Structure 1
Amino acid sequence: MKSSQRCEGMLAFFNERLKRKLKLFEFVRCFDMALYRLRNKEADAEAKTDNSDPCLTTTLQPLEKHAATIFTRRLFLMFHNEIIEEGLLIFDGRKEKFDHRIYKFSKYTEFGSTWEVSYHPATSIMKCSCKKFEFFGLPCSHMIFVMKCEHMTEISPSCLMHRWTKQARKVGEQHCQAQFSSTLTQETRFGVLCSFFTKMCSYASQTSKGFEEARNAFFTMTCRMKQLCMAKGTNVDEGKSSLPPFGVGDPKVVNTKGNTAGSYMAKPRKPRRCQCCRVVGHTRRTCPQNDHKTGQVGSNLFEEYDDYYPIGTPTPLH
């Protein structure tokens, strides 16, 4: 469901810029403008989150201030709305258990709807029956009411999801950089060197002097790079390229779909038979039953191609 919703959201975003029957160069330009708009909105939201502080307008200012310091601007506004919804809740009682407390709530003008929040003081874990935190990752109004009853000045750590905090982007970028493999780094270096040396080779190939200098320099540099690879411990096969097999490889062989036993590809090819004796191994021209001395071979050859002459055209003499 997540992947489908995300894809549909991106399609709705690009449909504002892209239209049907666009030419290729128009599509590329419109696609770049849509990406520019998306990145501009993201940069604007990030700048507002890092360089400005929202106004605190509710009565629960300690919780609201703590949310402003950890949440992004968009999530802070949603948390602000949850604080407003908390004012419509009605406290129906509390039960003391062995290691936790259960709070019961109902909502103003909504009869028959009740919610329960279990709170563990030792671990500060909260769980609400509405399951909004499990679904979206944002503390609901029922949890905020329990925080007010417990005189909390900060949001409980169990009610915080790292993906909605300001540090999620920075930590995510560092995590992605740490996951780069040595193969990917080697592939990047290989591509950069190829682009540089291709330009130099195009210049060196235009003159004989440049060709000789480039050839000598390449030979010396190749020996030097080979020594560095051997010193590092990389196995270099003699007479073979030591470059990794980067790029797109051959596609995988896929079996034919459907009934392959009854397809024409699976049927064996019929052997060619002689038109005179119907024996396999020779043709009509070399058939031993034909009388080569009387010239019947030539007549048989022309008879074979009689159908190719149009109507009214004189046929060859036999």
Structure 2
Amino acid sequence: MGILSTQRSECTNNVCHGISKPTSSITDCFLGLEKVLKNWRRNEQDEDYKCSQSEIVPVIKNSSILKQAARFYSRRIYSIFEEEFIKAVGEMSIDFVSTDSSKYIVNYIEKKNQNHPWVVHFDATEGNIQCSCKKYETMGLLCSHCLRVFKQLDMAKFPEKYLLLRWSARARQVFYSGYLLNSKRSNNFQGGRGFIFRNQVSRFAYQMSTEAQGNEEAEEFILSSLQDMYKKLYLILGGKKRNEKDVAGSQGGTANLKDPLKRRPKGISNARLKSHWEKKKRPKSKLLITC
């Protein structure tokens, strides 16, 4: 499948080692991967069913932040967020606050990590918060240090821009619908705008073909419309490429030339061409054995 190495991705490496062995064939690898995908889809359906059947009850019922997270996150992600919130309230303390309240130093109450405290920067005008632990940048969830700062500021709710749609309980429904295509939030959605566009167009085309099936006039109309649409699309894409070439030529840019194909000149046999190192390698001396 074009995968040269899986060592750079721990999750991919773990999956590949679980479904295959050095002696496995391509068929065994494919069947193992298909089995893993079926288990993932089954677990995803179970989680969707649990989220739709019951509401999440926060541990601290009067906490507005936990209520906000419970209404948005899925059950598993909410459990992780709740642990971070309890850790922030019960274990974290703020050792330093700048005069403009833009920098905070957060540490454990028992001072277990005196050498490496966490630094949190907060911008009150735009509502941006950033921690030195980089948990939100890597995982997409606010850490206990940021939540401790929100608690210090007595904020009833944290900014909604830190609620990523991929961790939402309704992420699957929104992702497979066309809601995000024309919305402002689609630019920040990490699932991919192109996939949403293709999914919506394929659903719309399938619906039209199903309704027109069996009616000759409707079928001819759809086919002719698709042909005209394809011609117009070809003109749009061709005009876009031509404009890009014109801009590159006006700026003095040059096109990248590819290496020419290697061909054997006439008179040379069809044997494999030797590499540079093979040509430099000395031939082995032949021993003459006499009887």
1:2–1:120 Cα change, 3 Å: farther
CA displacement at 1:77 relative to structure 2: 1.3
Q: In the TM superposition, what are the counterparts of 1:81-230 in structure 2 within 5 Å?
A: 81-86=83-88, 87-97=90-100, 101-107=102-108, 108-175=111-178, 176=195, 178-180=197-199, 228=221
Return the offset for 1:41. 1.1
Secondary structure (helix, strand or coil) at the match of 2:142 reads coil
CA distance in 2, matches of 1:122, 1:129: 20
Residue 61 of structure 2 contacts residue 67 of structure 2 at CA under 8 Å; is this kept in 1?
A: no
* Inter-CA distance 2–69: structure 2 relative to 1 (3 Å threshold): farther
Q: Which residue of 2 aligns with 1:37?
A: 39
Match of 1:69 among 64, 68, 71: 71
1:47-82 alpha-carbon deviations (Å, 9 max, x no partner): 222222334325873222221111111211111221
* Structure 1: stretches of 5+ with no match in the other structure: 197-220, 236-254, 271-318
Q: Between Structure 1 and Structure 2, whose CA radius of gyration is higher?
A: 1
- The CA distance in 1 between the partners of 2:97 and 2:144, in whole Å, is 17
Deviations 1:65-109 (A, max 9, x none): 221111111211111221232122222121132xx5222212232
Q: Is the 8 A contact 1:70 1:165 kept in 2?
A: yes
Equivalent pair of 1:124/1:158 in contact (CA under 8 Å): no
2:51 maps to which of 27, 34, 49: 49
- d(CA) in 2 for partners of 1:47 and 1:226? 39
Specify which structure has the bigger relative contact order, considering alpha-carbon pairs within 8 angstroms and separated by 6 or more residues. Answer: 2
TM-score (structure 1 length as normaliser): 0.52
2:105 is matched by which residue type in structure 1?
Answer: K
State the SS of the aligned residue for 1:78.
helix
In the alignment, the residues of structure 2 paired with residue 91 and residue 23 of structure 1 have an alpha-carbon distance, to the nearest angstrom, of 56
Q: How big is each residue's C-alpha offset from its partner over 1:220-254, in whole Å with a ceiling of 9 and x where there is no partner? A: x6xx689647964846xxxxxxxxxxxxxxxxxxx
CA distance in 1, matches of 2:24, 2:226: 56
Cα RMSD of the aligned pairs, angstroms, is 4.5
Instruction: Give the TM-score normalised by structure 2.
Output: 0.56
Q: 3-state SS of the aligned residue for 2:169?
A: coil
CA change 1:35–1:115 in 2 (3 A) is: closer
Q: What is the SS of the residue equivalent to 1:77?
A: helix
Contact 2:120-2:132 within 8 A present in 1 as well: yes
Aligned length: 214
Residue 148 of structure 1: how far off its partner (Å) = 0.9
Task: Flag the 1:232–1:256 CA change in 2: closer, same or farther, 3 A.
Answer: closer
Matched residue, 1:252: none
* C-alpha contact 1:117 1:126 (8 A) present in aligned 2: yes
Is the CA contact (8 Å cut-off) linking 1:79 and 1:138 kept in structure 2?
yes
SS of the residue corresponding to residue 115 of structure 2 reads: strand
Find out whether 1:267 has 2:266 as its counterpart: yes
Q: Distance in 2 between matches of 1:35 and 1:231?
A: 39
Q: Which runs of 5+ in 2 are unaligned?
A: 1-5, 179-194, 229-258, 270-291
Percent of aligned positions with the same letter in both sequences?
19
What secondary structure is seen at the aligned counterpart in 2 of 1:50?
Answer: helix
